[in-house]
Amino acid sequence: MNKKPPAAAAPTKRAGTPLKERLFVAAQYALPHHPLSWVMRQIANSTWPPLKQRLIEQAIQRLGIDLQEAAMSDPQAYESFNAFFTRALREGARPLAPEPDAVLCPVDGAVSQVGQVSDGRIFQAKGHDYSVLELLGGDEDWARVFDGGAFANLYLSPRDYHRIHMPCSGRLIRTIHVPGRLFSVNPITTRQVPRLFARNERIACLFEAPAGPLAVILVGAIFVSSLETVWGGVLNTPRQIEVCDYGPPAMTVKLQGGAEMGRFNMGSTVILLFGKGKARWSSALKAGMKVRMGQRIGSVLISQDGLHGPGQT
């Protein structure tokens, strides 16, 4: 189970890819991802008023952030840039789809890809895919239950709301932290870096849901130096080099659909996995489509006996 991430492969050269994009991606291979992200974290968590206010004002101006949706609409009220970046929304800002079988969108962002797991692999972009086994840090039992199931890759840009919510109700079975690189996960990089989501640092949160096994995977990215869950706090550590399987939680963790389950700063990606025949995506859900937390993006097929995760009863 404890395996080091595979060695990095070179970026893919594609006919017609602009030179500027190729250079942008190639430069990322040389960057010290984790030291840069550590520096960014120190800056983002600084409470020095001149610095944090300057960063907040620039973000609002350049990213077009609407603070009227936030629980705290006064930009002066945030103690740090990171507190602003991971701000809570005001009550009612993201109404939840009311249907009991709805798969709720867990984030604000855009659809990167959506579809079915085929032969244990997930489609990333034209010419690229990656394995569920690698994504989950080598856990063969859990990888097997998602083969043939539904997947969705959801991209969060820096301007988006950065808390992550449950797509449906579930009971936490285990949490797996997989160390790795911190490539950008923007569309340009996604098109060119092979196995991007299976090589970046990530936290796989595995649940037992009414429709069966569910995975909500938080994928890190450049400058994302903090991957956090509501039950475990910040789980990634700079010096960790091996997969860490936290196993079943010490206390029962049950979360309702729409409940907050984690967060990260800057932009990143959330991956959803459902078991075979247990979820169906809405026909309108397409790559590139903008989505908002709480909207219905699919439906689950609720099992009467409850299909459990590996080894569960």
Catalytic residues: 108, 165, 268
* DSSP type of residue 309: P
Place of tokens 């700063």: 265
Helix, strand, coil % in the chain, rounded to nearest 5: 20, 30, 50
Q: Is 48 helix (H, G, I), strand (E, B) or coil?
A: coil
Place of tokens 């991007």: 196
d(CA 125, CA 310): 30
Rounded (10°) CA dihedral 15, 20, 24, 29: 50
Question: Which residues lie across from 295 on neighbouring strands?
Answer: none
CB atoms within 10 A of CB 89: 15
Query: Which residues make Cβ contacts (< 8 Å) with residue 247, sequence separation at least 6?
Result: 174
Distance CA 211, CA 207 (A): 11
Q: Which residue has the tokens 């849901």?
A: 209
Residue with tokens 């740090």: 80
Beta strands in 117-253 (DSSP E): 121-125, 128-131, 150-156, 163-165, 170-178, 202-209, 212-219, 227-229, 233-234, 244-245
Cβ-contact 297, 133 below 8 angstroms = no
Q: Is 193 helix (H, G, I), strand (E, B) or coil?
A: coil
Is there a contact between 235 and 228 (Cβ–Cβ < 8 Å)?
Answer: yes
